[in-house]
A and B are shown apart, each in its own frame.
Chain A
Amino acid sequence: MLKFTEEHEWLRLDGEEVTVGITEHAAEQLGDLVFVELPEEGATVIKGDEVVTIESVKAASDIAAPLDGVITEINPAIVANPALVNDDPMEDGWFFKMTLADVSDLDSLMDEEAYREYIA
């Protein structure tokens, strides 16, 4: 199941975990990323918490936790090579994995079709 937030994050549910990244649209708007700072594994986060800092050539942005939960894994590859987020935002350029406090919270997010309309 693939879901999207209005802040241009995608969430992919796989068993108990969701993988979180930013959309191709967001990556394109941000431009070339040059710096990524990820949260600590094990951190408990509340929806809206600024958990990731990214910097493109032009500007700094914060990425918020899309839902309540616990960070279980981060993607060190994008810290070493931030350009990976631009090259492959939906796969290798993922940011972190988390378990959700309530999986049904996903229902509040957009599906792919709704997101496409949202950015149209």
Chain B
Amino acid sequence: MPGDTTTSPEAPTSDALARTPLHGLHVALGARMVPFAGYEMPVQYPAGILKEHLATREAAGLFDVSHMGQFSLRPKSGAMADLARAFEALVPVDALGLREGRQRYGFLTNAAGGIEDDLMFANRGDHFLVVVNAARRAADAALMEAGLGGACEVEPLDRGLVALQGPAAEAALAALAPEVAAMRFTDVRAVTLAGTEAVVSRSGYTGEDGFEISVPAGATVALAEALLARPGVAPVGLGARDSLRLEAGLCLYGHDIDAETTPVEAALEWAIQPARRRGGARPGGFPGAERILAEIEGGAARRRVGLRPEGRAPMREGVEITEGGAVVGAITSGGFGPSLNAPVAMGYVPTRLAAPGTRLGAILRGKDLPVTVSSLPFVRPGHRRG
């Protein structure tokens, strides 16, 4: 039963949309609220999607991502290595090698090698903090409980989550907690922000430098208001979140990746570290390992690619991709890229057609129009790796 595995009081029910702790603030800011993954969420504020997108690339955007699922995984033995080994049975990622204070991207796989969800997990010293997609929260909770329940406590967290993204993010957050300026990309640490304990990671979903900040639900409004009061910080809705992640070449679960796509098809094998590959210290041992490891070595039949339509018309999810007039694939995410001032898309094509520069077609409103395979991301990432 969906929802049964979470204890969050904000959990969606069949007849009402759930609200995040920032709902009142969104309404006060003039947001247009829409249903998303069982939540009532801001798709845009009065500035509009284009301006919100550009504001994030030029200064900083504040996003409410409290709808996402947050979990604590805690080893019953107290030994983090036990937790990491148990977690590695669910994800093809090197969890044992993740040091305290560091975060990693990963995905839950199924027996066929498909992706059940993608996630971020952080080593918090005595537990993992896991952030999953809102629409997959209940399914992930069930998967983790079944796979880890013997060795770990799997606890859904009732916390708010905001993302502060863009080149002005560091200055804005450092005004509240100077120590965040020393963090590098995918560092995670506990800090005190606006008088409350917070877990801050230097990561995000926009291709920009920035932070994701987890706080107790009741402290979310005060944090959001404190950040919005900083120079250059604008509220940004789900509309611009989508165009930002698309330009950054990042996958949206349920669109670019799903239970039918493998990590290699999705061009995500970079997230499978050598320790989990053949010849590594702990090869395989996760669902679908046989197929996924074979594809890492031999390639998959199809591949997720970036696509640049030649005209001005956006090409969206479902648009068919052609080669010589024959349909060879489909777009899984697409739209207008405000920073490129041009349409951009991602989709799947046969691997032989996946090289950047390959010219293909796409059928838009009955016309077969030219598109070019492009390397991803479409925009240069602003991550602070130094």
Contact = CB atoms under 8 A, between A and B. Distances in A.
B336 A34 contact: yes
Given A31-B239, A34-B336, A35-B336, A57 B50 contact: yes
Given A31-B239, A35-B314, A35-B336, A58 B49 contact: yes
Interface residues of A, number: 12
A55 B313 CA distance: 7
B243 interface: yes
A55 B365 CA distance: 12
B336 A31 contact: no
A58 B44 CA distance: 11
Interface string B30-47: 000000000000011000
A53 interface: yes
A24 interface: no
Given A57-B336, A57-B338, A58-B43, A32 B313 contact: no
Interface of B is mostly: mixed
Interface in A11-39: 31-32, 34-35, 37
A104 B91 CA distance: 69
A34 B313 CA distance: 8
Interface string A47-87: 00000010101101000000000000000000000010010
Given A53-B365, A55-B336, A57-B336, A32 B48 contact: yes
B49 A35 contact: no
A78 to B, nearest CB: 12
Nearest to B335: A57
A57 B312 CA distance: 12
Contacts of A55: 313-314, 336
B44 A31 contact: yes
Contacts of A37: 313
A31 B237 CA distance: 13
B316 interface: yes
A72 B48 CA distance: 33
Nearest to A34: B336
A82 to B, nearest CB: 8
Contacts of B316: 60
A58 B312 contact: no
A58 B53 CA distance: 13
Contacts of A31: 44, 48-49, 239
12 contacts: A31-B49, A31-B239, A34-B50, A34-B336, A35-B314, A35-B336, A35-B343, A53-B313, A55-B314, A57-B335, A58-B239, A86-B48
